[in-house]
Amino acid sequence: MHVIVEGESPSLAAIVEREVQVAVFKRITVRPEQMGGIPCIRGLRIPVATVVGMVSEGMAEAEILKAYPDLELEDIREALRYAAEAVRERELPVAGGS
């Protein structure tokens, strides 16, 4: 997965890939001048990682929406889809093994 950062000059392949990704992640923005370029929800200063972390800690969608009134239910769901796609592309260290 290649995320195109606003202001970057993308290659043709990256442009095509971005068109596919924009269709998939319409609520996720990545802007170098905002929050250091980390993925946020709809241009708000609410990082995807914050929303995903709240879900992982067991917060209900209603609680998250109450804590962040600018969010919408679909923002939470898209943040989870974005996170799932991000980790699908990488190997992360996990506990276990022999």
In order of start, what are the domains of the chain with their CATH numbers? 27-88 (1.10.10.10)
Question: What pLDDT, on the 0 to 100 scale, is given for residue 5?
Answer: 52
Question: What pLDDT, on the 0 to 100 scale, is given for residue 2?
Answer: 47
pTM, two decimals, is 0.69
Question: What pLDDT, on the 0 to 100 scale, is given for residue 72?
Answer: 98
Question: What pLDDT, on the 0 to 100 scale, is given for residue 4?
Answer: 47
Q: What phi and psi values does residue 40 have, to the nearest 5 degrees?
A: -125, 170
Q: Provide Rg for the chain, Cα atoms.
A: 15
Point out the residues of the chain with pLDDT beneath 70.
1-23, 89, 91-94, 96-98
Question: What pLDDT, on the 0 to 100 scale, is given for residue 1?
Answer: 45
Question: What pLDDT, on the 0 to 100 scale, is given for residue 80?
Answer: 95
Of 12, 22, 19, 14, the C-alpha closest to 82 is 22
